Structure 1
Amino acid sequence: MFNLIKIEELKPLEMVFPNHLDNLSKMILESNVIQTPIIADTNTGVILDGSHRYVFFRKYGFINVPVKLVDYNDENIRVGSSLIHRHLVDENNIISKKEVIKRGVSGNLFPPRTTRHFFPFRKNEFINIPLKELEKNIPRDVSQFIADVDIQYEINHNRMFIKEIEHEFEELIRYMEEVRQTKMYLLNQIELMETIK
């Protein structure tokens, strides 16, 4: 479920990577479709997921953009600085929801990909909206949203992000093993109880 929201009602949270923005822009323009909505807080308009899409929309002059609105006060929505925070609470996690809202509302943007938001739904909801269905105006300058980093920095950041993903896979495997062991324990308990009933 998404709404078409005026882009001016949205508030960015993070800067974006220049090369990632260029690559994403080419993909969107070649397909002429926006596949997934931006996710934003319904109360403040702060963007929780989709910073690069937001800058794409601004750059190309879109007026109304697809947004999935969520209540950021919902305790089922969490924030961390690493993907592993989806599964484990880390006392060293220095990002709070309060800081996210403060940064977004004030315009004091985080560096690219600083936050990781975890929602009680899958983020890859495909909406496949043709760009021609979105109201458009003149292109806008977006330089204030683009981080001043070189391509090697972005490559290194992507490599670190891949390591985060691998770490999350490892944690999922450990969790699956824990659940498997619990299942085996319960099956064993049932078997023992069946013999004495």
Structure 2
Amino acid sequence: MSHPDFALLPPCDIRPTEEILPDRVAEVVAMIRGRRAWTRPIAVEASSRALLDGHHRLAAAAILGLERVPVQFFDYDEVELTSWRVDFAPTRREVIDRALSGRLYPHKTTRHHFPARPAVVIALDALGAAPVLPALVPGGRVAAPFHGALA
């Protein structure tokens, strides 16, 4: 599975830029388990490994005990950056700074538009999935939510 802009990386090599919602992480965990496959690579800025898209998938990977996650690398110059929020106008430099500092944006702050890439589907077993079950509280929420870098 070698491609110049694709790799399987340990989750700890990826730098989050936004907080996550525990309920959404639980949904993503269930979806990945149900499909027994990873169907959409995480989008990462190539030079800094800043996470551009896939925060909930990265948190799900931690809960699932994955050793590797599918990643597509992007040069930030080829990605359009906007925001889901009217109270934020992030810049590329700020996104990279937050990734490097661990000072995360609130969830759903940045919105990235990526050039088309080929679809990638990888069986969950190929990612080193350990039989780890999430700790859940009533309502199916993750009891110990993932809030930042996996490191």
Normalising by structure 2, we get a TM-score of 0.78
Aligned CA-pair RMSD: 2.6
**How far apart, CA to CA, are the structure 2 residues paired with 1:78 and 1:42?**
15
**How far apart, CA to CA, are the structure 1 residues paired with 2:103 and 2:146?**
11
State the AA in 2 paired with 1:43: S
Offset, 1:137: 5.2
Q: 1:13 touches 1:47 (CA, 8 Å); kept in 2?
A: yes
Deviations 1:15-69 (A, max 9, x none): 1111111111111111111101000011111110111100001122211110001
Q: Greater relative contact order (Cα 8 A, min sep 6): structure 1 or 2?
A: 2
Instruction: Give the one of 124, 134, 140 matched to 1:131.
Output: 124
**How far apart, CA to CA, are the structure 2 residues paired with 1:34 and 1:7?**
14
- Which residue is equivalent to 1:184? none
Please show how residues 9-88 of structure 1 align to structure 2 within 5 Å: 9-72=13-76, 74=77, 76-82=78-84
* Gap regions ≥5 residues in structure 1: 84-89, 147-197
Secondary structure of 2:59's counterpart equals helix
**How far apart, CA to CA, are the structure 2 residues paired with 1:21 and 1:126?**
22
Which protein has the larger Cα radius of gyration, Structure 1 or Structure 2?
A: 1
- Structure that is richer in helix per residue: 1
What count of residue pairs does the alignment treat as equivalent? 135
Q: 2:17 touches 2:105 (CA, 8 Å); kept in 1?
A: yes
Q: Hey, which bits of structure 1, 4+ residues long, moved more than 3 A? A: 136-142
Secondary structure of 2:71's counterpart equals strand
